[in-house]
Structure 1
Amino acid sequence: MPNIKSAVKRVRKTEEVEHRNISQKNAMRTAVKRAKTAIETNASEKDELVSFALKKVDKAAQRNLIHSNKADRIKSKLMSASK
Protein backbone atom coordinates (compact mmCIF):
# COMPACT_ATOMS: atom_id res chain seq x y z
CA MET A 1 0.00 0.00 0.00
CA PRO A 2 1.45 3.39 -0.94
CA ASN A 3 2.25 5.99 1.68
CA ILE A 4 1.99 9.10 -0.48
CA LYS A 5 -1.46 10.68 -0.66
CA SER A 6 -1.49 11.03 -4.44
CA ALA A 7 -0.40 7.43 -4.88
CA VAL A 8 -3.21 6.25 -2.61
CA LYS A 9 -5.70 8.18 -4.71
CA ARG A 10 -4.19 6.81 -7.92
CA VAL A 11 -4.60 3.23 -6.65
CA ARG A 12 -8.21 3.93 -5.68
CA LYS A 13 -9.06 5.53 -9.02
CA THR A 14 -7.37 2.71 -10.94
CA GLU A 15 -9.51 0.14 -9.12
CA GLU A 16 -12.67 2.13 -9.87
CA VAL A 17 -11.81 2.36 -13.57
CA GLU A 18 -10.93 -1.35 -13.71
CA HIS A 19 -14.30 -2.28 -12.20
CA ARG A 20 -16.12 0.00 -14.63
CA ASN A 21 -14.23 -1.43 -17.62
CA ILE A 22 -14.87 -5.02 -16.54
CA SER A 23 -18.59 -4.43 -16.08
CA GLN A 24 -18.89 -2.73 -19.48
CA LYS A 25 -16.97 -5.55 -21.15
CA ASN A 26 -19.18 -8.15 -19.44
CA ALA A 27 -22.30 -6.28 -20.55
CA MET A 28 -20.99 -6.32 -24.12
CA ARG A 29 -20.28 -10.06 -23.98
CA THR A 30 -23.73 -10.75 -22.55
CA ALA A 31 -25.41 -8.69 -25.26
CA VAL A 32 -23.48 -10.54 -27.98
CA LYS A 33 -24.34 -13.89 -26.44
CA ARG A 34 -28.04 -13.01 -26.22
CA ALA A 35 -28.03 -11.86 -29.83
CA LYS A 36 -26.38 -15.11 -30.97
CA THR A 37 -28.91 -17.25 -29.12
CA ALA A 38 -31.76 -15.17 -30.52
CA ILE A 39 -30.40 -15.69 -34.03
CA GLU A 40 -30.05 -19.45 -33.48
CA THR A 41 -33.57 -19.82 -32.11
CA ASN A 42 -35.01 -17.33 -34.64
CA ALA A 43 -36.63 -15.29 -31.87
CA SER A 44 -39.05 -12.49 -32.65
CA GLU A 45 -36.91 -9.79 -30.96
CA LYS A 46 -33.80 -10.90 -32.88
CA ASP A 47 -33.32 -7.57 -34.67
CA GLU A 48 -33.49 -5.50 -31.49
CA LEU A 49 -31.01 -7.75 -29.69
CA VAL A 50 -28.58 -7.65 -32.62
CA SER A 51 -28.72 -3.86 -32.86
CA PHE A 52 -28.24 -3.58 -29.07
CA ALA A 53 -25.23 -5.90 -29.24
CA LEU A 54 -23.74 -3.89 -32.11
CA LYS A 55 -24.16 -0.73 -30.07
CA LYS A 56 -22.39 -2.31 -27.08
CA VAL A 57 -19.54 -3.57 -29.28
CA ASP A 58 -19.09 -0.13 -30.84
CA LYS A 59 -18.99 1.52 -27.42
CA ALA A 60 -16.44 -1.01 -26.15
CA ALA A 61 -14.21 -0.36 -29.15
CA GLN A 62 -14.62 3.39 -28.73
CA ARG A 63 -13.51 3.14 -25.09
CA ASN A 64 -10.56 0.89 -26.03
CA LEU A 65 -11.92 -2.06 -24.06
CA ILE A 66 -11.49 -4.19 -27.17
CA HIS A 67 -9.46 -3.61 -30.32
CA SER A 68 -11.30 -2.05 -33.24
CA ASN A 69 -10.50 -5.03 -35.47
CA LYS A 70 -12.05 -7.39 -32.93
CA ALA A 71 -15.14 -5.19 -32.81
CA ASP A 72 -15.37 -5.36 -36.59
CA ARG A 73 -15.06 -9.15 -36.51
CA ILE A 74 -17.81 -9.49 -33.90
CA LYS A 75 -20.09 -7.14 -35.79
CA SER A 76 -19.46 -8.95 -39.08
CA LYS A 77 -20.25 -12.35 -37.56
CA LEU A 78 -23.46 -11.03 -36.01
CA MET A 79 -24.61 -9.34 -39.19
CA SER A 80 -23.90 -12.32 -41.43
CA ALA A 81 -25.59 -14.72 -38.99
CA SER A 82 -28.70 -12.56 -38.69
CA LYS A 83 -29.36 -12.56 -42.45
Structure 2
Amino acid sequence: MASPKKYIITRHGSMEDKSGLFTPPLGGLTKYELVLLISKRAHYLNQMRIDLQKKYRVHLIEKVKPTMVALKEYLNGEYGYTYEPEEKQ
Protein backbone atom coordinates (compact mmCIF):
# COMPACT_ATOMS: atom_id res chain seq x y z
CA MET A 1 0.00 0.00 0.00
CA ALA A 2 1.42 3.38 -0.99
CA SER A 3 1.78 5.99 1.71
CA PRO A 4 -0.46 9.05 1.35
CA LYS A 5 1.08 12.28 0.11
CA LYS A 6 1.71 15.04 2.58
CA TYR A 7 1.39 18.66 1.58
CA ILE A 8 3.03 21.71 3.05
CA ILE A 9 1.19 25.00 2.75
CA THR A 10 3.50 27.99 2.68
CA ARG A 11 2.70 31.47 3.95
CA HIS A 12 1.90 32.51 0.40
CA GLY A 13 -0.79 29.84 0.11
CA SER A 14 1.06 27.55 -2.29
CA MET A 15 1.04 23.83 -1.66
CA GLU A 16 4.19 21.79 -2.00
CA ASP A 17 4.19 18.02 -2.28
CA LYS A 18 6.75 17.20 0.40
CA SER A 19 7.07 14.97 3.39
CA GLY A 20 6.85 17.00 6.54
CA LEU A 21 4.51 18.76 8.87
CA PHE A 22 2.84 22.13 8.66
CA THR A 23 3.16 24.50 11.59
CA PRO A 24 0.94 27.56 11.09
CA PRO A 25 1.70 30.93 12.65
CA LEU A 26 -0.46 30.94 15.76
CA GLY A 27 -0.57 34.70 16.37
CA GLY A 28 -1.36 34.37 20.06
CA LEU A 29 -3.83 31.51 19.58
CA THR A 30 -3.57 27.98 20.85
CA LYS A 31 -3.72 25.23 18.24
CA TYR A 32 -7.22 24.37 19.44
CA GLU A 33 -8.41 27.98 19.03
CA LEU A 34 -6.85 28.13 15.56
CA VAL A 35 -8.69 24.97 14.51
CA LEU A 36 -11.97 26.42 15.83
CA LEU A 37 -11.38 29.73 14.02
CA ILE A 38 -10.61 28.06 10.69
CA SER A 39 -13.45 25.55 10.99
CA LYS A 40 -16.00 28.29 11.74
CA ARG A 41 -14.83 30.25 8.70
CA ALA A 42 -14.98 27.09 6.54
CA HIS A 43 -18.51 26.38 7.78
CA TYR A 44 -19.53 29.95 6.89
CA LEU A 45 -18.02 29.64 3.39
CA ASN A 46 -19.77 26.31 2.82
CA GLN A 47 -23.09 27.76 3.97
CA MET A 48 -22.67 30.68 1.53
CA ARG A 49 -22.16 28.16 -1.29
CA ILE A 50 -25.29 26.25 -0.27
CA ASP A 51 -27.33 29.46 -0.09
CA LEU A 52 -26.17 30.50 -3.57
CA GLN A 53 -27.11 27.09 -4.95
CA LYS A 54 -30.60 27.38 -3.49
CA LYS A 55 -31.07 30.99 -4.59
CA TYR A 56 -30.03 30.49 -8.21
CA ARG A 57 -30.97 26.80 -8.48
CA VAL A 58 -27.60 25.78 -9.86
CA HIS A 59 -24.98 23.29 -8.76
CA LEU A 60 -21.71 25.02 -7.95
CA ILE A 61 -18.65 22.87 -8.49
CA GLU A 62 -16.27 23.07 -5.59
CA LYS A 63 -12.68 23.14 -6.86
CA VAL A 64 -11.12 23.95 -3.50
CA LYS A 65 -12.51 22.71 -0.20
CA PRO A 66 -13.82 25.39 2.21
CA THR A 67 -11.30 24.33 4.85
CA MET A 68 -8.38 25.03 2.50
CA VAL A 69 -9.89 28.39 1.51
CA ALA A 70 -10.29 29.32 5.19
CA LEU A 71 -6.71 28.27 5.95
CA LYS A 72 -5.32 30.27 3.03
CA GLU A 73 -7.34 33.32 4.08
CA TYR A 74 -5.96 33.03 7.63
CA LEU A 75 -2.38 32.71 6.36
CA ASN A 76 -2.87 35.78 4.14
CA GLY A 77 -4.24 37.78 7.07
CA GLU A 78 -7.66 38.29 5.47
CA TYR A 79 -9.51 37.65 8.73
CA GLY A 80 -8.72 37.38 12.38
CA TYR A 81 -10.40 37.22 15.73
CA THR A 82 -11.21 39.32 18.75
CA TYR A 83 -11.30 37.92 22.24
CA GLU A 84 -14.29 39.01 24.28
CA PRO A 85 -14.25 37.73 27.85
CA GLU A 86 -17.50 36.39 29.25
CA GLU A 87 -19.53 38.78 31.37
CA LYS A 88 -19.74 37.81 35.02
CA GLN A 89 -23.21 37.85 36.50
Q: Which has the higher strand share?
A: 2
Q: Which has the higher helix share?
A: 1
TM over 0.5: no
TM-score (norm 2): 0.36
TM-score (norm 1): 0.38
